[in-house]
């Protein structure tokens, strides 16, 4: 039996467009000899639709689209992810996360998702009622188990036991020859390898091959990486599809010789491709064709510019370098050199006159008070005004350029460098920013080496360096990983060998700056715990620990 995997990139609510994507992939699979084709979870509606499901016509239009799609499916079945009403007579949530078996122009079977994740970035129990039973589909003598995403995530691969049921185990107990899974599993670093390991364990438990079709594409802050997988009954990986692209594959999961060796890309390569995809899809799915950003000569804006040029085309990226009285000539030169290297436009717009005018205007109000961070922030806010004006005038998506380390401790200016529509690298710690920039330069100099090698500085006062204010980034990032991603207490981090005053300072800065982060542009998630989505902290709180 040859299974076609249609690894598609849906747009939420674009039912006509999603039908076209699904049918195009379905036909590719037919041409390659598929006997059965599967899509990702909610391939028809896009995932996650969130509160759009409560709009009176969203689910009905999804069902209309399903009927229309079914008309185009003849003798080769298509299993497609979609949304349905909960028609059970029992009390429960109004909708179902579902898969439909389409064949002969009809909907032959409907399968409900059983396990509904409500943790991290997921909130499915808000909307959906779980399936009550798991039954194999009998087709041409084969007993096929059909599951949806979380249904195959076993206890060993979750943070803790979350469910009383195990759909894969229930299906295996009823006898299956093959287990299919329609998935929309978002990316974070290390996720593809984790999935393969988990799928191998599921296949061994079920004593059947597993075909896992994952979504690809960016949706708001989430990035779906594809990397669909076929696993043999012994748990070995037959094949893994490419990451971060739409793709089809036809394979016989029962053929021991079918498949290809699997090698994961380096961390830097995965991060790069994820961020380019997330940026491109955020922009284009929101209707933007171009982007602008501030070019400071620093490493963060350089990385953001590289990502933007790759995602949207160099001709569609407009940079401004905006020197203040404290900007070094080298920073301006580095900005220009980067723009020339990438082929993007870069305009020089000095802000000294504006800065001095604002200072003079405020002088009566600030009489007798020394200069401090206020004057530094004025410079950042002038730049924000200019960039927002450029964005408004030319219809660019304004990209902010701050990294996760800065956002964590508030080393950023609200209504200044935080202005923008997308925070492209806000989930990359500073040490990862350096790693990624060196990877970009692995074959030739794209980002000026001076940008990478010089000490980082905001250049908002004379001879300023980041580490006048912040701990060394390798130490800061290590502590932030323990506090933000692993959610350890300050005492636990101190016990791990970090200096107490530094740990408590970082913890306090993270907590105090939640108000800034809640006003920040959406950021692309590439770690297991990004600010914003998946991390919901109160602004007003007094807990220390």
| % of the chain beyond a pLDDT of 90 | 87
- Statement: residue 72 has pLDDT above 80: yes
> If you average pLDDT over residues 174-185, what whole number do you get?
97
pLDDT tens-digit readout, 494-523 = 999 999 999 999 999 999 999 999 999 999
Which residues partner with 317 through β-bridges?
A: 291
pLDDT of residue 159: 66
- Statement: residue 327 has pLDDT above 90: no
pLDDT of residue 474: 94
Other beta carbons less than 10 A from residue 174's beta carbon: 12
User: Can you read off the two tokens belonging to residue 7?
Assistant: 């690894």
Given the residues 41, 124, 376, 459, select the one marked as catalytic: 41
DSSP summary character for residue 60: H
Other beta carbons less than 10 A from residue 309's beta carbon: 23
pLDDT of residue 300: 97
Specify whether the CB–CB gap between 39 and 25 falls below 8 A: yes
User: Can you read off the two tokens belonging to residue 283?
Assistant: 């922009």
> If you average pLDDT over residues 538-544, what whole number do you get?
85
pLDDT of residue 154: 77
> If you average pLDDT over residues 427-452, what whole number do you get?
96
pLDDT of residue 419: 96
pLDDT of residue 362: 97
Specify whether the CB–CB gap between 419 and 400 falls below 8 A: yes
Q: How far apart are CA 494 and CA 119, in angstroms?
A: 28
What's the mean pLDDT when you consider all of the chain? Answer: 94
> If you average pLDDT over residues 66-89, what whole number do you get?
95
Q: How far apart are CA 178 and CA 147, in angstroms?
A: 11
* Exposure letters 204-231 (e unless 16+ CB within 10 A, then b): bbbebbbbbbbbbbbbbbbbbbbbbbbb
Helix/strand/coil for 105: coil
> If you average pLDDT over residues 407-435, what whole number do you get?
96
- Statement: residue 293 has pLDDT above 80: yes
Given the residues 29, 62, 103, 113, select the one marked as catalytic: 113
Class for the domain spanning 272-466: alpha beta
- Statement: residue 335 has pLDDT above 80: yes
pLDDT of residue 497: 95
Residue 41 is among the residues annotated as catalytic for this protein: yes
pLDDT of residue 460: 67
> If you average pLDDT over residues 96-109, what whole number do you get?
97
- Statement: residue 58 has pLDDT above 80: yes
> If you average pLDDT over residues 191-213, what whole number do you get?
95
- Statement: residue 469 has pLDDT above 80: no
| % of the chain beyond a pLDDT of 70 | 98
Cα torsion 332, 333, 336, 337: sign: negative
Specify whether the CB–CB gap between 277 and 218 falls below 8 A: yes
Please give the distance of CA 516 from its chain centroid, rounded to a whole number: 21
Residue 20 is among the residues annotated as catalytic for this protein: no
- Statement: residue 452 has pLDDT above 80: yes
> If you average pLDDT over residues 377-405, what whole number do you get?
97
pLDDT tens-digit readout, 302-323 = 999 999 999 999 999 999 999 9
DSSP summary character for residue 151: G
Specify whether the CB–CB gap between 395 and 290 falls below 8 A: yes
- Statement: residue 459 has pLDDT above 70: no
Residue 371 is among the residues annotated as catalytic for this protein: no
Task: Specify the higher pLDDT residue, 161 or 24.
Answer: 24
Given the residues 149, 213, 412, 419, select the one marked as catalytic: 149
For 211-279, give the DSSP string.
EEEE-EEEETTEEEEB--EEE-TTS-EEEEPPBSS-EEEEE-TT-TT-S----PPPHHHHHHHHHHHHH
pLDDT tens-digit readout, 25-56 = 999 999 999 999 999 999 999 999 999 999 99
Q: Could you state, in order of their start, the residue ranges of all structural domains in the chain?
A: 3-255, 272-466
- Statement: residue 75 has pLDDT above 90: yes
Q: How far apart are CA 146 and CA 41, in angstroms?
A: 11
**pTM of the predicted model, to two decimals?**
0.94
pLDDT of residue 91: 87
| Helix (H) and strand (E) counts in the chain | 16, 19
User: Can you read off the two tokens belonging to residue 445?
Assistant: 């100099």
DSSP summary character for residue 203: H
- Statement: residue 220 has pLDDT above 80: yes
Q: How far apart are CA 78 and CA 509, in angstroms?
A: 52
User: Can you read off the two tokens belonging to residue 242?
Assistant: 């490419």
> If you average pLDDT over residues 352-364, what whole number do you get?
96
Class for the domain spanning 3-255: alpha beta
pLDDT of residue 371: 93
pLDDT of residue 120: 87
Task: Identify the weakest region by mean pLDDT among 155-164, 351-360, 382-391, 397-406.
Answer: 155-164
pLDDT of residue 536: 83
User: Can you read off the two tokens belonging to residue 326?
Assistant: 């404290």
């Amino acid at each position: 039996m040859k299974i076609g995997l249609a690894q598609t990139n849906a747009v939420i609510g674009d039912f006509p467009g999603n039908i076209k994507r699904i049918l195009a992939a379905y036909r590719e699979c037919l041409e390659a000899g598929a006997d059965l084709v599967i899509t990702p979870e909610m391939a028809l509606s896009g995932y996650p639709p969130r509160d759009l499901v409560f709009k009176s016509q969203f689910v009905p239009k999804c069902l209309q689209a399903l009927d229309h799609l079914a008309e185009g499916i003849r003798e080769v079945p298509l299993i497609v992810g979609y949304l349905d009403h909960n028609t059970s007579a029992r009390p429960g949530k109004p909708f179902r996360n579902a898969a439909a078996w389409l064949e002969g122009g009809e909907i032959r079977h409907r399968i409900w998702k059983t396990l509904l994740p409500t943790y991290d970035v997921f909130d499915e129990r808000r909307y959906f009622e779980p399936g009550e039973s798991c039954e194999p589909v009998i087709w041409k003598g084969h007993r096929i188990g059909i599951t949806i995403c979380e249904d195959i995530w076993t206890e060993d691969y979750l943070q803790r036991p979350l469910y009383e049921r195990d759909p894969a185990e229930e299906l295996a107990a009823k006898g299956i020859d093959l287990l299919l899974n329609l998935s929309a599993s978002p990316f974070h670093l290390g996720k593809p390898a984790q999935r393969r390991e988990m799928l191998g364990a599921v296949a061994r438990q079920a004593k059947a091959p597993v075909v896992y079709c994952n979504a690809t594409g960016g949706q708001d802050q989430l990035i779906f990486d594809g990397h669909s997988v076929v696993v043999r009954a012994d748990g070995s990986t037959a094949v893994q599809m490419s990451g971060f692209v739409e793709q089809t594959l036809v394979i016989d999961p029962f053929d021991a010789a079918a498949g290809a060796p699997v090698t994961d890309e380096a961390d830097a390569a995965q991060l790069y491709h994820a961020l380019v995809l997330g940026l491109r899809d955020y922009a284009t799915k929101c209707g933007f064709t171009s982007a602008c950003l501030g070019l400071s000569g620093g490493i963060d804006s350089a990385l953001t510019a590289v990502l933007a040029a790759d995602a949207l085309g160099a001709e569609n990226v407009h940079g401004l370098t905006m020197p203040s009285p404290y900007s070094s000539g080298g920073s301006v030169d580095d900005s220009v050199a980067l723009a020339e290297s990438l082929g993007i436009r870069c305009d020089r717009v000095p802000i000294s006159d504006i800065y001095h005018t604002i200072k003079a205007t405020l002088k009566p109000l600030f009489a007798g008070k020394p200069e401090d961070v206020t004057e530094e922030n004025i410079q950042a806010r002038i730049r924000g005004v200019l960039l927002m004006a450029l964005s408004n005038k030319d219809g660019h998506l304004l990209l902010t350029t701050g990294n996760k380390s800065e956002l964590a401790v508030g080393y950023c200016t609200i209504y200044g460098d935080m202005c923008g529509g997308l925070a492209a690298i806000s989930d990359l710690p500073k040490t990862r920013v350096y790693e990624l920039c060196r990877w970009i330069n692995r074959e030739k100099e794209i980002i000026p080496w001076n940008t990478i090698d010089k000490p980082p500085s905001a250049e908002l006062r004379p001879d300023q360096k980041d580490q006048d204010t912040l701990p060394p980034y390798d130490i800061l990032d290590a502590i932030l990983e323990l506090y933000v991603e692993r959610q350890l207490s300050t005492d636990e981090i101190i016990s791990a060998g970090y200096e107490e005053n530094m740990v408590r300072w970082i913890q306090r800065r993270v907590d105090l700056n939640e108000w800034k982060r809640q006003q920040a542009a959406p950021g692309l998630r590439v770690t297991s715990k990004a600010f914003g989505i998946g991390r919901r902290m109160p602004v007003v709180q007094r807990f220390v620990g």
